[in-house]
Chain A
Amino acid sequence: MRSVKTLATAAEAGRHQREWFAGLRRRVAAGEPFALLNADVPHEIFRTMDIPYAVSQWWASLVAAKQRSGHYLELVRRRGYPDYSEQYNSVTLGSAFDPEPEAAPWGGLPKPDIVVGDATGDITRKVFDIWGHEPGVTFYPLESAAENEVPANWWELMPHRWEQAVGPARLDLLTAELDNLVRFLETTTGRRFSESRFRAVMALVNEQEEWNRKTRDLIARTRPAPLGVVDSIPSVMLPQWHRGTEWARDIARRFYEEVRDRVDAGRAACPDERARLMWIGRGLWYDMGFYQRFQEEYGAVFVWSMYLAIAADGYVRYGDDPMRALAARFAAFGDQLYTPPWSGEWYVKEARLHGIDGVVHLVSDDPRGSYFTARALEAAGFPVIEIHADNVDARTFDDEVVKRIAQWLENVVLA
């Protein structure tokens, strides 16, 4: 079943994304540099320097939504690389090997001049490095560092006390890497880095994420939920890839206002709401209809995904030193979602805030730490069902999952 979006801001974000991408292709065709970035690297540098960029995972989600991920994984396989490994990045890598790039969604991803990825895990650096061997492509890697001891309440510390949350070693490292990245980009693209422009970009990002925080809080306290994740994900994530622009800040505000208007009007995603569900894991891009499949029969609404919640809690950073604040946004970004104790404690906080009745946990091979997430939620009294699949590789999805969840709703959540 196809997903049905009802929010004007979701439609507007989708429209803007298409127009932006067409404009991106024109800019690249006219000779401007183009960067392809991993989701968890500081896009704000590129925004400040007006270097066009796209996000690897966004492109993979688009390809998956068009049911084309299998094609690109096959291209990866034909080069001799594994097609079962870190598909979220390798689907996009497959586009570099496409003999007919113009046949790809939206006319195809332009060939990047620069790819930037962090050295998370064992594979990400390899994927981007392989990309860097394509003619005309340069790979700029960033480290992925870890810390011995961290305070659990990161979401309370991050806006102002990020130094305490992340720790100085990781911040010193990433700040230095970003200073070097700026010089690298100045040298290779000829673009200038304006400190005042950078401060303005950072301020816009904080404003945007503060609006998302208000939206998150409003959805959390409203019964029945004014919208489900099919509307909230595009409304927050498409602007997220444009963060640091006035458009992104303004649509984040309009997203809030539209949700507020719905709440005031008493409109709900599912008026007969009987169960509020939390989706933990990346979006199931090849089957967004999945999230609305349990509303009619069970009154079960996916009211939570990480996308709005991490926008609300995971990005805001204030401080006088913008480069260090930017480093604080990303030096431990993945830890917020996948590393205990941060991940589990945060999911429990969010489940309580939203009045969650049940948690559907997508467990992929790639982002790990799932046991401790489920354990924390169950220990706090939230029922959890785990499903195993990759979020862009439809070959890994078992259709029996829908039946399993239906039984779980009947026997556990609604019993």
Chain B
Amino acid sequence: MPTALAALEEAYTRRGAPPAAPTGDRTLVVGYVGADVPVELLTAAGVRAVRLTGDPDSGSAPGDRYLGRGVDPAASSVLTRLLAGSFGGLDRVVVSHDCEASLRLFYALRELRRVEPGTGLPEVYLVDILHLPHRTTALYNRRRIGEFAARLEAWTGRPLDVAGAVAAHDERRRLLAAVAELRRAVPARLTGRQFLAVANAALPVDEHIALLERLLAEAGQLGEHPGRRVFLSGSDHDTPHVYEAVESEGYVIVGEDHSFGELFLREPVGAGGLDALAEHYHHGGPTAHRATVSERAAHAARAVRHCRAELFVAYSRIGDEAPAWDFPAQRAALDIPAVLLERQEYGRADLTALRKEHPCAV
């Protein structure tokens, strides 16, 4: 039997593909985009859910054509893959308003279905969760969560098991938080690349939980990774390319603040059904796209201390400029060196500034 880590890394290679289903299984397959889709409700509805990811190594011309310049190329890649059918037979796509690129992707999908029905795109639904820290926004989010739950019930024709789904996802969060402690150990027992794979393995929640439990039981067998400890801030990383590029230079990424990493593991939803879910997603983050520079700086200072990072690397992709706005306040809030890699290409990391200012002895 492979180790749990090997099994999780293997499952990560299948990211963006729906979980396998028995022949004849007619369970609805739902692809989702963005950090603010309440995945607990997808589980509660009993659908087969898959978070849609891009691919920097394949072209994105169709997506670029529809989304234009100025949009995070990760979203263009997702759209390109949707148009190419790369995600298999999706019955629905659910998109959140977690960033401008996701919203633009939603609008493009909605309009393409209207004016170019030949594209064969599935029905698309927007979950409009917002993030100003006010009661007005909380009430709005609760309404939107309720609407989404009702839509899922209409799609599947059966009531949602919200309590059971929330409990399962909270357990997965708890286990992933424990795994994150392994990466925070000195020396780190997991690389950033490995943690990314563990957190984003393409598995149903119950299977994911089982493998995470086994990974924790096998922790004693994990290697040690003594490289210079980096906290990676900024753009989302829906693929391992940038992690691999940074860690190939001798660094080890021990923490990050994007939605595919550790950022969303901090708080459980707990009991309370849709009310608790609405509050959980309202206060999620702080992501580069929805938080203020102060919130991001305060979080960076806490997270860097927590993971004992030695170097802070802010990464801002072309078309995803929010992290570059955060950087001055983050740098001022830190007591470790910080470097900004700005206007980076999707899936690439130009490490010239990093090598020049903060060389890492391999």
**Interface residue count on the A side (C-beta < 8 Å):** 48
Given contacts A143-B140, A173-B136, contact A122 B126 (CB under 8 A): no
Which residues on A sit within 8 Å (CB–CB) of B104?
368-369
Minimum distance in angstroms from A184 CB to a CB of chain B: 11
A259 to B71, CA, bound (A): 41
CB-contact partner of B69 in A172, A341, A365, under 8 A: A365
| CB closest chain-B residue, reference A180 | B136
A344 to B292, CA, bound (A): 33
- 9-residue interface stretch from A76-84, A195-203, A231-239, A294-302: A76-84
Contact with A along B51-83 (1 / 0, CB 8 A): 000000000000001111111000000000000
Q: For residues 297 through 319 of chain B, which have their beta carbon under 8 Å from a beta carbon of chain A?
A: 316, 319
Interface check B155, CB cutoff 8 A = no
Docked-complex contact B65 and A85, CB < 8 angstroms: no
Interface check A20, CB cutoff 8 A = no
A119 to B316, CA, bound (A): 20
Interface check A404, CB cutoff 8 A = no
| CB closest chain-B residue, reference A169 | B143
Contact with A along B124-138 (1 / 0, CB 8 A): 011010111010110
Which residues on A sit within 8 Å (CB–CB) of B103?
146
Given contacts A121-B100, A341-B114, A371-B66, contact A145 B128 (CB under 8 A): yes
CB-contact partner of A143 in B67, B71, B126, B137, under 8 A: B137
Interface check A104, CB cutoff 8 A = no
Docked-complex contact B107 and A340, CB < 8 angstroms: yes
Interface check B328, CB cutoff 8 A = yes
Minimum distance in angstroms from B231 CB to a CB of chain A: 18
Docked-complex contact A369 and B107, CB < 8 angstroms: yes
| CB closest chain-A residue, reference B130 | A143
CB-contact partner of B136 in A130, A176, A344, A365, under 8 A: A176
Interface check A398, CB cutoff 8 A = no
Interface check B348, CB cutoff 8 A = no
A177 to B97, CA, bound (A): 19
Interface check B241, CB cutoff 8 A = no
Which residues on B sit within 8 Å (CB–CB) of A80?
327-328, 331
Interface check A267, CB cutoff 8 A = no
Which residues on A sit within 8 Å (CB–CB) of B100?
121-122, 368
Given contacts A125-B292, A146-B126, A180-B136, contact A341 B67 (CB under 8 A): no
A86 to B322, CA, bound (A): 10
CB-contact partner of B342 in A82, A126, A144, A363, under 8 A: A82
Interface check B144, CB cutoff 8 A = yes
Interface check B361, CB cutoff 8 A = no
Which residues on A sit within 8 Å (CB–CB) of B326?
126
Interface check B99, CB cutoff 8 A = yes
CB-contact partner of B293 in A126, A172, A364, under 8 A: A126
| CB closest chain-B residue, reference A128 | B292
Interface check B244, CB cutoff 8 A = no
A129 to B322, CA, bound (A): 13
Docked-complex contact A368 and B328, CB < 8 angstroms: no
Contact with B along A109-120 (1 / 0, CB 8 A): 000000000010
**Which A positions have Cβ atoms within 8 angstroms of B?**
79-82, 84-86, 119, 121-123, 125-127, 129-130, 133, 141-148, 169, 172-173, 176-177, 180, 339-341, 344, 363-366, 368-372, 375-376, 379, 388
- If A341-B111, A368-B71 are given as contacts, then 12 extra A-B residue pairs at C-beta distance below 8 Å, sorted by A number, are A81-B324, A81-B328, A121-B100, A126-B322, A126-B326, A148-B125, A173-B137, A173-B139, A340-B111, A366-B70, A371-B108, A372-B107
**Which B positions have Cβ atoms within 8 angstroms of A?**
65-71, 97, 99-100, 103-104, 106-108, 110-111, 114-115, 125-126, 128, 130-132, 134, 136-137, 139-140, 143-144, 147, 288-290, 292-294, 316, 319-322, 324-328, 331, 342-343
24 contacts between A and B (CB under 8 A): A79-B328, A80-B327, A80-B328, A81-B324, A82-B316, A82-B321, A85-B325, A123-B322, A123-B325, A126-B322, A129-B292, A143-B130, A143-B137, A145-B130, A172-B139, A173-B140, A340-B111, A344-B111, A363-B69, A365-B319, A369-B68, A371-B108, A372-B111, A375-B115
